[in-house]
Chain A
Amino acid sequence: MTISNKTKAFLGSSIVPLLLVIVWQYVASSGYVASFILPSPNQIIKTFVTNFVEKEYALHIAASLKRVLIGFLIGTVSGFSFGLLMGLSRTAEKIFGPFFNVIRQVPIIGFIPLIIMWFGVTELPRIIIITVAAFYPVTLNTFAGIRNVPKEYFELSSVYGYKGLKLIRRIVIPAALPSITTGITLALGMSWAMLMAAELFIQTYFGIGTRIQLGRDKFNMALVIVGIITVGALGFFMTTIVEQLAKALDRGKIIRKET
């Protein structure tokens, strides 16, 4: 009897996390460390369950999701349009490119104090931060994707008389699609990361970030950890969905790989 390679791989990759949990449970229950600093896995599961039984926790999650989706959508659509413009027109690139590249150097978090002063502690600055986070990667990847469309495709298009919108829809966008979807996937990750900044630095009543902050204020580490797990898991699910969508969209994948 031999253990299959898959099982072996699974066992191999679960050893370290398993060891960590065991050590963790041991240290936590030994009493060396105060439980508000290091709650046992047991406590965390309990907190997790009580949290999810409450209806309120769902409201926090919903608030975060809504924020991210709005910012992500606005950022993606505007980033795609802007990237398309700069990708198609060298003049547009020369006009907007340098300014875009300089502004992009400013860490997004740095804008927070300024936009709070402008718009107050409201939903708008939160959405702005998330939008900007999504805007950059989509712009960059759309632009790069279009610039990397092989010039042979353009030659082919001119032979068959493809021009204007038809050229963009039938040739440019499909050829740049892998790069564009990469940008969108990155954008989702960035939005999700900046959601945390938006909720931690721009106080709000509802949001997963708010819950994590609450845990910190109440010296309740279990609450903090449950929040962290929630954020990580939701981020993972959303990224997976977008990645799968991107895969489904890229029909010519196999051919592209070979060339």
Chain B
Amino acid sequence: MSVAKGTLEIRNLSKSYVVDNNPLQILKNINITFPAGAFVSILGSSGCGKTTLLRIMLGLETSYEGDALIDGEKIEGPGSNRGIVFQDHRLLPWLTVGENVAFGLDKLNRKTKKLLVDEHLKLVGLSGFEGAYPAQLSGGMAQRVAIARALANKPEILLLDEPLGALDALTRMYMQKELERLWEFEKITMIMVTHDVDEAIYLSDKIIIMSSRPGIINKIINIPSSRPRDRASSEFMQIKAEILNEFHLGSEYPFAYAI
């Protein structure tokens, strides 16, 4: 039996911090399965613990109750089977673009390294930029390098922590298309934390909606519609309305607008 690698499961997970001797619950009883090869978004307002959840999956947070499993095995710490794209591109300013992409490939020989770097820079559309320094790049380009760095390690799962949050609206939409293209090409699991509703609908097979204090899962929405998605379609709008309702932002009093 062949098992599709890249399944991530969260079981009965809770986490709390102690603030001034009072426990503050960040996450409460979270249960999710991220199927292999799916694009899943975690959507919520700031403070709902979605980034904490992502850091648990990444292995940077290790103290919590419950289980976080990859392909059935407990997450003990960061590992090369998971890649991460942070909101700030987090490129090392003293390394060139090429060296940044190779950051996780340190153990490979020079030739393989170069091959992988070239391949992934090409993939994100930045061939020829390997000698540039991060400070010379625009925000969108820097984020693409960060994505290349994460993918170069051939992860089973790519974690994205509000990856496009620092970009302007137009670059952002363009990068969403790029992310979709990369996801279709790599055929790996992608888990993205975001607070942008349109972005989540455009990209995801499944959207997990969280609410805060304590962070719990409010609703899980499956989006079966075909890709690429039309942001102006009625189906898109309908899903959007459904999500906004969850945040009590829907037009409950449609007549209010008429006044």
Q: Do chains A and B touch in the complex (CB under 8 A)?
A: no
Residues in B lying within 8 Å of A, measured CB to CB: none
Residues in A lying within 8 Å of B, measured CB to CB: none
